[in-house]
Structure formats: structure tokens, C-alpha cells
Structure 1
Amino acid sequence: MEQFQLVLQSALDALPTLLRATPTTLGFALAAMLLGLPLGFLVALSRLSRFAALRGISSVFVSFIRGTPLLVQIFVIYYGLPSLGLTLNPVAGGVIALTLNAAAYLSETIRAAILSIPKGQREAATSLGLSGSQTMRLIVLPQAARVALPSLSNTLIGLVKDTSLVSVITVVELLRSAQLVIARTFEPFGPYLAAALIYWVISSLLELVQRALERRFARGATA
């Protein structure tokens, strides 16, 4: 019982420090999502392009990012690029790595959502005189957004957890903040437990937002 109280007290003592680092974690996740979404959309369109070169380049990008660990990608960008003459600060390196990783996964979500729209709807739009861009903007994308929403939300939740990896390049986000507390107190259980609970609360809140948006989109689809 005494040991449990010590762990609980160490978690409570670490909580203010961890909460101060939480906006950094959220900032990285949101930045990667906001930057990765348009990039992922472009990659998805490239994979659907009739030009073989675009399909090939985008396919290799997606395959490489999805086939290698995010931690390795962070190391390549932050520690590897300086050997080529490009030095990035930890924040820029972390955001770029998370953005590229998110873009690859988002592109597959977007591509699958676009392909899920029946081809007949595109043909009907063409017969009505709509251009390809108008068909995409007015017919395909609104429906694809509803299809992709759960996966997009899951990607954001995953990004919140993936931000812990930028701690290896000295970014003081949630996990790194816990490690710094542990270095002072030599008590690992409490700070790590507090950090895990914060990640859990953030993910749970995002899931609630996701469900609310899904219900709203569902009502819009049946209206």
C-alpha cells in the first residue's frame, strides 16, 4: 500500500510538468495532420493518375514510408540530412518526418475513398456537362469525405501517439518531459503512468469528436 501511494504521489507530482508539455504534443500532431492531408491528397491523385510516371513515383513513396519504421525516418531526416548539407532543428525535423509519414497513410485512405464512389456517378456527371474537376469537387469528394472520415480520425489519434518518437531528437514533448522528470526523481513508474493517462485522455476525446462528426455526416447523407 505504501508503495502504491509513492507511485501515485510521483504521478501527481509529475502531472503539472507533463501538462505543460502536452500542447507541444498536440501541436506536432495537428501540424502533421494539417500538412499531411493536402500532401496525401496529391499523392492519392497521383496514384490514380493516367500518367505512369506519377503513379510510379507516388507508389514508391507510399511503399517506402509504409515499409519503414517512423523512428528510422526521423533519424534519416534529422541525423542523415546534415551529411547532405541540410541541417534541421528538432522541431522542423520532427514535423517533416511526421508529415511525410501521415501523408503516405492518408493517401491510401483518400484513394480508397475516391475509388469507393461508383463509376456511374462520374459518368452521369460527365453526361450533364460537368468537367473532371467539377465532378471531383462536387460529386466525388463530398461522398469520399464521409467514407474516409473514420480512417482520417484514426490517423490523427495515431499521430498523437507517434509524437512520442520525436523525443529521440530532444523535442520536449509529453514523453520527453516524463523522462526529464524521471531523471530528477529516479522514480519511473509514476511519470510514465501519468504520461500514458494523458495520451489515453487525448485519444478518448478525439474518439468522441470522431463519433460526433460521423453522426453529423450520417444525418447529412440521409437528409
Structure 2
Amino acid sequence: MTLKLFTLLLQAAISTVGISLVSIAIGFVIAILLSAARLSGKAIYVAPTQLFISFFRGVPLLVQLLLIYTLLPVIGINVPSVVAAIIGLSLCTAAYQAENMRGGFESVPKGLIEAAEVTGLNPTQTFFRIRVPIALRLTLPALVNEAIMILKSSSLVSVVGIIEITKMAQDLASSTYLPIPIFLSAGLIYLVINWVIAMLGRYAEKSLAGTSA
């Protein structure tokens, strides 16, 4: 295992982390919107939201990526492979994040919501200023776990032409006939990235706990 091969794996890791982080961020925004739709209690919003969550939680991510990658050109939308990959990962993680946050929203004390209404906050302000911060604090560990899962699942984006860590490791292993050191190195890179995410999650959790204290 040479430094040059390891450098190629690190370059692929940058692509993996970039795609994953962008997808997680977009997915979080979508998850908040899905949660708002569910909390509205209106069937016109709740039914499509539940269908969305059921679909993207029930269909394998690999199938979702292939469907998005092949469907977009059919309807006249031509996007780079990386965009298709981000769309697929974002929609998938949004469904899981929304479901994770559901318990957090349900745990928000009704007294706080009533107090917000008394102070003159409208439903939108109450949602973003009261419900979202509390739900985020309560569900942060689950959201961090989902971030780690999405980063590991990003290995599937190779099916749409993205060279990420796993794909790079496969290509290098087949060309150098050094599968064991290359795949061990790829595993080590994944381990370090996920460890950093976990540590950042714990730091954020402590920060939020200190803020609420």
C-alpha cells in the first residue's frame, strides 16, 4: 500500500464527505417541512407526507438512486451524476430524519406551546422558535446516527457514476492486486470520518444541554 494509493482514497473520501454532508443538510430541511406538514393535522398535507416517508423508508436506497438517475432524463431534466446522487440521498435521509424527529415534536410540553400562543407567537413562529429547537435537542443522538448511516450508505452512489471511497477501493484493488491493504485503508478512513461525526454530535448535544440548562 503506497502513499499514492492512500492519497487517491483520501481524494475519494473528500467526495464522499461532501456529497454526504450536503445531502444530510438538505434532508434536514426537507424533514422539518415534512414534520410541519404532519403537525398541521390537515389530511391534504398529512397523507402525502406519510406516503413520502413510507416510500423512502420502505424502498432500498439503491433502487431509489437508480430510479432518480433514470427518471430525471425521461422527464426532460438532465443533471450531473453528483446532483442525482445528492437528490437521492437527500430524499432518503429526509424520510428517516422526519421519523426520528416525530418523537421529539410529540415530546414538546403543551404548556410551552400554550405559553407561546399567549405571548403572541403565530403557529409558524411557535414551530420554528419553540418546537424545532426542543425536538432537535431531544432527537440529536438519533440524527447523528442517521448521519453516520447516510455516510456509509453513500457507497451506493457509485451506481450513478460517482467515484467515492468504496468504488475507488474496488478500482485500486482490481488494478494493483492488493485488496486487503486497500480495503483495510478504506475501512479505516470510514471509521475516522464516522468517529469525527460522532464526536461532533456529542459536542453539539452537550452544547444544547448547556444552553437549555
Q: Same fold (TM over 0.5)?
A: yes
Instruction: Report matched runs for 1:128-167 at 5 Å.
Output: 128-167=119-158
Q: Alpha-carbon deviation of 1:25? A: 0.4
8 Å Cα contact 1:170-1:176 kept in structure 2: no
8 Å Cα contact 1:74-1:97 kept in structure 2: yes
The 2-side partners of 1:81 and 1:125 are apart by 43
Could you tell me which of 176, 188, 191 is aligned with 2:182?
191
8 Å Cα contact 1:33-1:99 kept in structure 2: yes
User: What is the match of residue 97 of structure 2?
Assistant: 106
- Secondary structure of the structure 1 residue equivalent to 2:174: helix
Say if 1:85 and 1:134 are closer, same or farther in 2 by CA, change over 3 A. closer
User: What is the match of residue 49 of structure 1?
Assistant: 40
User: What is the match of residue 177 of structure 1?
Assistant: 168
Q: Does 1:66 align with 2:66?
A: no
Q: Alpha-carbon deviation of 1:122? A: 1.1
Q: Alpha-carbon deviation of 1:89? A: 2.3
Say if 1:137 and 1:168 are closer, same or farther in 2 by CA, change over 3 A. closer
TM-superposition CA deviations, 1:105-131 (whole Å, max 9, x none): 111123321111011221222233332
The 1-side partners of 2:120 and 2:161 are apart by 55
2:130 maps to amino acid = I
Q: How many residues align?
A: 213
Q: Alpha-carbon deviation of 1:71? A: 0.5
8 Å Cα contact 1:22-1:174 kept in structure 2: yes
Q: Alpha-carbon deviation of 1:153? A: 1.5
The 2-side partners of 1:76 and 1:133 are apart by 34
Q: Does 1:15 align with 2:12?
A: no
The 2-side partners of 1:215 and 1:66 are apart by 30
- Secondary structure of the structure 1 residue equivalent to 2:40: coil
TM-superposition CA deviations, 1:154-195 (whole Å, max 9, x none): 221112111111112221111111112112112322211111
Q: Alpha-carbon deviation of 1:147? A: 0.8
Q: Alpha-carbon deviation of 1:29? A: 0.6
Q: Does 1:76 align with 2:67?
A: yes
Task: Calculate the TM-score normalised by the size of structure 1.
Answer: 0.88
8 Å Cα contact 1:78-1:93 kept in structure 2: yes
Which protein has the larger Cα radius of gyration, Structure 1 or Structure 2?
1
Q: Alpha-carbon deviation of 1:104? A: 0.8
The 1-side partners of 2:122 and 2:80 are apart by 44
User: What is the match of residue 204 of structure 1?
Assistant: 195
2:35 maps to amino acid = A
Q: Alpha-carbon deviation of 1:208? A: 1.0
* Structure 2 unaligned residues grouped into runs of 5+: none
- Secondary structure of the structure 1 residue equivalent to 2:79: coil
Q: Does 1:127 align with 2:113?
A: no
Q: Alpha-carbon deviation of 1:146? A: 0.9
User: What is the match of residue 30 of structure 1?
Assistant: 21
TM-superposition CA deviations, 1:74-122 (whole Å, max 9, x none): 1101134334443332111111100110111111123321111011221
